[in-house]
Amino acid sequence: MSSHALVIGAGPLGRATAEHLLHGGHAVTIAARHPLPADDPVAAVGAASARLDVTTPESQDAVAALRPDAIVACCNWPYQQWQQMWPRAVQNLIAMAERSDAVLVLAGNLYTYARTADPLREDSLVDPPSALGRVRASVWEAVRVADAAGRIRGVEIRGSDYFGPGAGAGAHAGDRLVGPVLAGRTAYPIGDPDQPHTWTAIADMGRLLARAAFDPLMWARTWHVPSAPACTLRDLATEILRAQTELEDRDPTDVGPRLRPVPTWMLAALGVVSPMLRQMRTVSYQFTAPFVMDDSAARAELGEQETPLAETVDAVVREHLRRHG
């Protein structure tokens, strides 16, 4: 009988994780506040669907009834809701894992580390320079303590800003970059587009999240997702144009992407009326200086590798052309 994985969250990471779990022969239920429609592609390839709000106490009983062997938390909320939602969610997640004797896998990020120009490693200093980072640090600390006490088995998989098909409007290298670049319009990235930055492929993060659910070697620690070598956002946009030229069989041109960076002071001004932008300003340091992730542990200890950047870029452009023509 196959193991049962409960994936909480139906966004890009949740879907990528579910696909890898299904390909590995596991039974999968995707739980979210809004169940998947019957014709959803992930449901069509075998994922079950359930309604769940992980921030409510009732979610514990609902998960216990599903009897999962692993719980993969790919849930998230708008920045301005993190301080309210994450403390509730993590306590419920720990209780769910304990009641079901299930492994708890967290989809994490790099906000927890101190601000530095050095490549970020799993053992880098935890001293988050933002309230958002302090929230995420407290989430992993709660899981780590529960794991150390023998209550659960926990692991956190951390990636940098993700990139890939389905990234959507919320990702820095998502629709708000890809759409304008492919249309020949100006894109408005945050910070300095010429600083080296690590971009994590959604497919690679989903694969490592899925592996962590059933690989005891990975438990009781954090891991960085193997990602393509760091590149600037301008280089990434140039790769997007390259893929468009090849896929549409155009003649290459010397015209590069049109990028007009949004300065930090403007985020501060817009933050007066936008809670989301106000919070985004607190993590904008990730785009004003080198922000590079070291992923050597997963490569050396797990034998994992990244998807080549050009392959991910091609998939992004294909998806955009399919959706928009």
Two structure tokens written together for 259: 């990028």
CA 44 → CA 22, 41, 51, distances in Å? 11, 5, 17
Residue whose tokens read 């709000």 = 53
3-state percent breakdown (helix, strand, coil) of the chain, nearest 5: 45, 15, 40
Residues 276 and 245 in one domain: yes
* Together in a domain, 106 and 134: yes
Tell me what pLDDT residue 314 has.
97
Task: Give residue 158's domain range.
Answer: 4-164+199-229+292-307
In this structure, the answer to whether residues 23 and 156 fall within a common structural domain is yes
Residues 138 and 150 in one domain: yes
Q: Is 168 in contact with 12 (CB distance < 8 Å)?
A: yes
CA distance linking residue 87 with residue 67, whole number of Å? 23
Place of tokens 């998502």: 174
Contact 206, 159 (CB under 8 A): no
Q: Report the distance separating Cα 216 and Cα 285, nearest Å.
A: 35
Q: What is the mean pLDDT of residues 226-238?
A: 98
Same domain as 270, residue 219: no
| Banded pLDDT at 36 (limits 50, 70, 90) | confident
- Classified as helix, coil or strand, 87 is helix
Residue type, 214: F
What is each CA distance from 81 to 114, 128, 134, 135, 196, in whole angstroms? 22, 18, 14, 11, 29
In a domain, 258, yes or no: yes
Q: Among 82, 140, 97, which residue's Cα sits nearest to residue 6?
A: 97
pLDDT in tens, 116-169: 999 999 999 999 999 999 999 999 999 999 999 999 999 999 999 999 999 988
List, for residues 289-321, the tens digit of each pLDDT value: 999 999 999 999 999 999 999 999 999 999 999
On whether the CB atoms of residues 210 and 103 are closer than 8 A, the answer is: no
d(CA 12, CA 201): 11
74 and 209 part of one domain: yes
In the chain, the number of structural domains is 2
**So what's the pLDDT on residue 215?**
98
74 and 122 co-located in one domain = yes
- One domain for residues 129 and 185: no
The stretch 93-110 carries a mean pLDDT of: 98
| pLDDT confidence of residue 272 | 65
Question: Is there a single domain that holds both residue 130 and residue 252?
Answer: no
Residue 186 shares a structural domain with residue 113:
no
Shared domain for 66 and 19, answered yes or no, is yes
Sign of the four-CA dihedral 268, 273, 277, 283: positive
pLDDT tens digits, 12-21: 999 999 999 9
Show Cβ contacts of residue 24 under 8 Å, excluding neighbours closer than 6 positions.
210, 214
